[in-house]
Amino acid sequence: MAYSDKVIEHYENPRNVGAMDKDAPDVGTGMVGAPACGDVMRLQIKVSAEGVIEDAKFKTYGCGSAIASSSLVTEWMKGKTLDQALEIKNSQIAEELALPPVKIHCSVLAEDAIKAAIEDYKTKQSRA
């Protein structure tokens, strides 16, 4: 399968790979997985008191498209409010990376990871 230049670029130079303290109150962690291909994705966000995403990190085990999708969303999320980040749609990710139809599920995984990370953050905040 031929990857687009953008996928290869993100795959070879992934942005924001790493981990944050998942127990920190200002960190939200989203873990999602795609059973069909066994991909696992962890997306973490650090949120300011004003509700702006200051930093984002990811770790993905999966194909090039899954890695590129998560790398791309960490870039897109930074500086956005939570509501703005929730507006990121898998179709935008797929379009930006020129993903072929069989790889659309990788962008779905990334969108779900965003939602899961924000949900985790909000749950923590409501408990605090």
Partner 1 sequence: MSENYFQLFGLPVGFEVDAEALALRYRDLQRAAHPDRYAGASERERLLSVQQASLINEAYSTLKDSLARARYLLELNGITLSDTDTRMDPMFLMEQMELREALDAAPAAADPFAALAKVRNAAEATERQLVEELAALFQRGEAEALQQAPERLRKLQFMRKLLDEVDEREGDLAHNI
Give the strand order in the sheet containing 27-34: 27-34, 39-47, 53-61
Residue 105 touching partner 1 (CB under 8 A): yes
Binding string to partner 1 for residues 63 to 102, with x set by CB under 8 A, is what? Answer: ----------------------------------------
Question: Considering only 2-10, 28-36, 79-87, 91-99, which stretch makes contact with partner 1 by CB under 8 A?
Answer: 28-36
Min. distance of Cβ 48 from partner 1 in angstroms? 25
> Of how many residues is the chain composed?
128
Which residues, listed in sequence order, are joined to residue 33 by a DSSP beta bridge? Answer: 40
Catalytic residue list contains 106: yes
- How many residues contact partner 1, by CB under 8 A? 18
Tell me how far CA of residue 44 lies from CA of 17, 50, 58, 95, 100, in angstroms: 10, 18, 6, 23, 26
* Residue 66 and residue 39 in contact, taking contact as beta carbons nearer than 8 Å: yes
Binding region for partner 1 (CB under 8 A): 31-38, 40, 42, 59, 61, 105, 108-109, 112-113, 116
